[in-house]
């Protein structure tokens, strides 16, 4: 790890400004200052910094947070499920139903949930509403999962919230056949923290599925369904329709449903559920959508059609057509929350919408964390996500040589994921993360050899070694040859790589 390149020491923008002024000695002083200022601003431009918190600097706070993490780790993990909301409902009851204290926007789907949630949050914040956002899994810090006003809650507040609800958690544990799970406790913490803040609106991403997901004790005023594809088939079903049946459980009586583009059989299931509960439906491609998009520096420039009209010249500092579609879904969800298209016909203020989207970040989603060579992180973990990421890489980056560093979970369609990346990877370094769910590197290598051929696969079981190998391979054609590294396969792999590369 010590041999990895570091970029922790960033230059002071003011120092850069003075240096640029000093260079302009042969020009009019006023013009020199103006030109230097423009150049400095351009240097500072680009995507906003991702808000991924580091470990607490205070040793006592860090120790207390680790104690909470250790206690949570004794509970069922997120992959062990007993399909019921009985336990979380019991916890909400003894806590005084905190999830009823604010309206909510509830998000399900297979891919794009977290990015869409972050965009919705940014829009609501821009319109001066206080937000609570609950998403999963986290990239690096468990505190990322619960955000207030667009930022993860502090470690101190996370610890305080856990300690506040702990007696009630233990009370429910004693009354139920099974103890509350890791995810159920975190969900309870989020809902309690939002009520305590208090927030104006909660933006809540399901953990898995919908009907029996722990988050589904809320009645979302707006239900959002991002694209449905095959994932978690052992728990949710083997077809898009079966998966949609479970996910449709978040659609509540008289809600507004925002549907991203869906497979036909999934769309039929979702529309049928909406009819049953008298929900209003807005469909991407019909009531809203992406009108135009073009690649821009650090992202893309969009024209979006919302429920209330068109929003031109919207800059989104994220790459890929899939993120443009996520933006359209997010915009429609916020319009629906404000009653656009129902109680009011005029669109949202376009300048506020532009400001919100320009400030969006989504850590670990085609996130550039290093240059020379360029290192990109993407949390794609299923074939659909990998296909979207691969297409975005082709569009947004001009790599002449791209090395994949892949560490995947054993319960995923790893072959499908590798096949999606095969056309864009010159070579692939297979590895494994520290999770107990990680696929063994040698097992992953065997599949990779079948997809890529033996000569294009390298095995490095330790992630630090895999990153070193990927960087070395990317640099083989020289410093300015357009080599890059894409780290992918799992949110956990991306989070651990992010730490190794000095982010957080």
Write out pLDDT tens, residues 303-355.
999 999 999 999 999 999 999 999 999 999 999 999 997 777 789 999 999 99
pLDDT higher than threshold 50 for residue 25: no
Residues 158, 131: contact at Cβ < 8 Å?
A: no
CB 322 within 8 A of CB 361: no
Q: What is the pLDDT, as a whole number, of residue 17?
A: 37
Give the tokens for residue 245. 């049946």
The pLDDT of residue 45 is 34
pLDDT in tens, 57-80: 999 999 999 999 999 999 987 666
The answer to whether residue 425 scores a pLDDT higher than 60 is yes
Q: Long-range contacts: 445-449, Cβ < 8 Å, 24+?
A: 447/414, 447/415, 447/418, 448/406, 448/418
pLDDT at 235: 60
Closest CA to 159 of 50, 85, 58, 49: 58
Question: Sign of the CA dihedral 153, 124, 325, 370?
Answer: negative
CA distance 138 to 133: 12
Q: What is the pLDDT of residue 366?
A: 94
Q: From CA 309, how far away is CA 305, in angstroms rounded?
A: 6
pLDDT at res. 19: 44
pLDDT (average), residues 202-229 = 94
For residues 90-119, average pLDDT: 96
In this structure, what token pair is assigned to residue 151?
A: 């930022």
Q: What is the pLDDT of residue 345?
A: 76
Q: 15 falls in which pLDDT band (50, 70, 90)?
A: very low
From CA 98, how far away is CA 187, in angstroms rounded?
A: 11
What is the pLDDT confidence band of residue 394, given thresholds at 50, 70 and 90?
very high
Q: Looking at per-residue confidence, does 199 or 46 come out higher?
A: 199
For CA atoms 397, 399, 405, 406, give the dihedral sign.
positive
Q: What are the phi and psi torsion angles at 27 (to 5°)?
A: -120, 170
Phi, psi (rounded to 5 degrees) for 459? -110, 125
The vertex-297 CA angle with 292 and 298, nearest 5°, equals 95
Rounded Cα gap, residues 391 and 36, in angstroms: 37
Rg over alpha carbons for the chain, rounded to the nearest Å, is: 23
From residue 131, give the alpha-carbon distance in Å to each of 30, 146, 432.
Answer: 44, 11, 36
Is a pLDDT exceeding 70 seen at residue 271? yes
> Which whole number is the average pLDDT over 373-396?
93
DSSP strand pairing (483-488 vs 289-296): unpaired
Distance CA 28, CA 25 (A): 8
Question: Is pLDDT of 1 > 90?
Answer: no
Q: What pLDDT, on a 0 to 100 scale, did the predictor assign at position 38?
A: 32
Which pTM was predicted? 0.86
Grade residue 181 by pLDDT with cuts at 50, 70 and 90: very high
DSSP string, 145-204: GEEETTEEPPHHHHHHHHHHHHHHHHHHHHHSSSPPPHHHHHHHHHHHHHHHTT-SEEEE
pLDDT of residue 481: 65
Q: Please report the pLDDT score of residue 379 as a whole number.
A: 92
Q: What is the pLDDT of residues 141-178, one digit of tens each?
A: 999 999 999 999 999 999 999 999 999 999 999 999 99
């Amino acid at each position: 790890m010590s041999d990895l390149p570091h970029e922790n020491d960033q230059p002071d923008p003011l120092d850069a400004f003075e240096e640029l002024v000093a260079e302009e000695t042969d020009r009019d002083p006023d013009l020199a200052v103006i030109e230097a200022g423009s150049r400095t601003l351009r240097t500072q431009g680009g995507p906003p910094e991702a808000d991924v918190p580091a470990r607490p600097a205070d040793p006592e706070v860090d120790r207390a947070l680790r104690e909470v993490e250790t206690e949570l780790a004794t509970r069922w993990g997120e992959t062990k499920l007993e399909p019921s909301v009985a336990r979380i409902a019991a916890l909400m009851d003894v806590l005084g139903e905190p999830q009823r204290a604010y309206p909510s926007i509830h998000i399900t789907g297979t891919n794009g949930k977290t990015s869409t949630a972050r965009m919705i949050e940014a829009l609501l914040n821009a319109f001066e509403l206080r937000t609570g956002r609950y998403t999963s899994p986290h990239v690096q810090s468990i505190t990322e999962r619960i955000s207030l006003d667009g930022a993860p809650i502090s470690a101190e507040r996370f610890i305080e919230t856990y300690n506040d609800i702990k007696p009630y958690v233990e009370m429910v544990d004693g009354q139920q056949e099974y103890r509350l799970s890791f995810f159920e406790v975190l969900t309870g913490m989020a809902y309690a923290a939002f009520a305590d803040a208090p927030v104006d609106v909660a933006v809540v991403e399901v953990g898995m599925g919908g009907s029996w997901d722990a988050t589904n004790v809320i009645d979302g005023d707006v239900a959002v369904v991002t694209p449905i594809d095959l994932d978690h088939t052992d728990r949710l079903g083997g077809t898009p329709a079966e998966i949609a049946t479970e996910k449709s459980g978040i659609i509540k009586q008289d809600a507004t449903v925002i549907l991203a583009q869906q497979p036909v059989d999934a769309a039929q299931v979702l529309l049928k559920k909406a009819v049953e509960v008298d929900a209003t439906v807005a469909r991407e491609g019909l009531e809203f959508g992406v009108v135009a998009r073009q690649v821009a520096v650090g992202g893309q420039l969009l024209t979006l059609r919302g429920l209330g009209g068109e929003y031109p010249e919207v800059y989104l500092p994220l790459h890929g057509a899939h993120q443009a579609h996520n933006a359209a879904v997010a915009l429609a969800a916020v319009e629906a929350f404000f009653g656009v298209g129902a109680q009011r016909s005029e669109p949202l203020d376009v300048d506020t919408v532009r400001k919100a989207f320009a400030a969006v970040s989504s850590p670990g989603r085609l996130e550039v964390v290093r240059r020379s060579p360029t290192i990109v992180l993407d949390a794609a973990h299923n074939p659909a996500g990998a296909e979207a990421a691969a297409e975005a890489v082709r569009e947004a980056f001009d790599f002449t040589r791209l090395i994949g560093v892949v560490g995947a979970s054993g319960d995923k369609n790893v072959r499908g994921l590798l096949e999606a990346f095969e056309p864009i990877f010159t070579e692939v370094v297979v590895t494994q993360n520290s999770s107990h769910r990680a696929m063994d590197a040698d097992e992953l290598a065997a599949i990779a050899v079948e997809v890529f051929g033996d000569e294009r696969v390298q095995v490095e079981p330790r992630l630090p070694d895999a990153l070193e190998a990927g960087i070395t391979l990317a640099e083989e054609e020289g410093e300015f040859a357009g080599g890059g590294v894409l780290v992918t396969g799992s949110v956990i792999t991306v989070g651990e790589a992010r730490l190794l590369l000095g982010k957080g």
